[in-house]
Structure 1
């Protein structure tokens, strides 16, 4: 019985030019082209009186962060603006930082007291303290 070998028509196409062509190609993060915009990561916790949100938004100026609370719906958006930095005789070799906007919305189990909500941004982390709105106590009505 003879040995069979699978025919690969592309195996002969490799030449020295292709070695030079792909030299350094592994240094380029091609996979990042397909990732799209970065996601805002957040932690959500609660106690009896408040919801607590910690959202990672590094590299953003606090004036470019918007927080909206409508009942039990919370939306956080931020925009990273590209800096105009041009030096004479210098050229950009690689640009991996993200410029654009990110946003995240979520629904809480209870409504939020918007007037007492507090937001703080420090070291790339947005911290929200969202007090729960007191629910009306149910009571039995006496029929007259």
Structure 2
């Protein structure tokens, strides 16, 4: 990577992120799981967390709520059998994947939490203990 910058002296430190991007990271063929995207909606009486988890099995998902922290995690291990070992892959990116997302959400009635997983979308309903009316956001003048 340093050869792309011939005007730089050898004592100038180029961050290793450039070398890692081209050598060890993006083009290396290693499987990386990106964090799933989450939406959190406030309905007034509950929070609804919606997470896209395409390709993840329901059995691989774990959801917990403990001490005001909602944790969503999944782990999938690709089990190899004899047929897969004989396959000559040109590119293989779907292997073992894992992720974990955590959100601090206060004022939740933990006994009423419900979760459903359909068509690759996880929806979690978190009912509030003490629902409060939402204050309307006001405009702040910039001086």
Q: Provide the TM-score with structure 2 as the length reference.
A: 0.63
Q: C-alpha root-mean-square deviation of aligned residues, in Å?
A: 2.5
Segments of 5+ residues of structure 1 without an aligned counterpart are 1-7, 9-28, 136-144
| 1:104-123 equivalent positions in 2, closer than 5 A | 104-108=101-105, 110-123=106-119
Q: Is the 8 A contact 2:29 2:92 kept in 1?
A: no
Segments of 5+ residues of structure 2 without an aligned counterpart are 1-5, 7-25, 132-143
Q: Provide the TM-score with structure 1 as the length reference.
A: 0.63
Runs of 4+ in 1 over 4 A off after TM superposition: none
Distance in 2 (CA, whole Å) between partners of 1:48 and 1:123 is: 27
Q: Is the 8 A contact 2:41 2:49 kept in 1?
A: yes
Q: Deviations over 1:27-47 (max 9, x none)?
A: xx61765x9431121011011
Aligned residues: 106
Q: Is the 8 A contact 1:65 1:76 kept in 2?
A: yes
Q: Is the 8 A contact 1:69 1:112 kept in 2?
A: no
Distance 1:32 1:104, change over 3 A: farther
Give secondary structure in 1 for the equivalent of 2:94: coil
Distance 1:54 1:98, change over 3 A: farther
